[in-house]
Amino acid sequence: TGKTAGFALPIIQRLLPLANASASPARHPVRALMLTPTRELADQVYDNVARYAKHTDLRSTVVFGGVDMNPQTDALRRGVEILVATPGRLLDHVQQKSVNLSQVQMLVLDEADRML
């Protein structure tokens, strides 16, 4: 949607100089975190981000509850620059140490009023 493009495209543009084709997860730290209140919205935002960044070396993934954590953990361990998440599942991954947020440069709170 237009709203998602309004925050996703500038983030992708800002991250492009950091994009690389390396297979090393260390070369793909989470640099942008997009939090959404629901899994449906997280999935929708992720679909748009993936489409916008399709022809770049930027990696992205989505994590939300209600599904098995293992595939999400695998994706995070491979390295992603853009992470779309719901708060609860993000906390699960932080507690399991499957995500490192120490290099996050940009944070989006999508529909923050619904998360509060």
pLDDT computed for residue 116 by the predictor: 75
1 — pLDDT class (breaks 50, 70, 90): low
Q: What is the pLDDT of residue 115?
A: 81
pLDDT of residue 2: 85
Structure token pair of residue 101: 């947020």
Instruction: Kindly report the three-state secondary structure assignment for every residue of the chain.
Output: CHHHHHHHHHHHHHHHHHCCCCCCHHHCCCCEEEECCCHHHHHHHHHHHHHHCCCCCCCEEEECCCCCHHHHHHHHHHCCCEEEECHHHHHHHHHCCCCCCCCCCEEEECCHHHHC
In the chain the domains, ranked by start, together with CATH numbers, are 2-19+27-115 (3.40.50.300)
Residue-wise pLDDT tens digits, 72-115: 999 999 999 999 999 999 999 999 999 999 999 999 999 988 88
Q: Is the pLDDT of residue 34 over 60?
A: yes
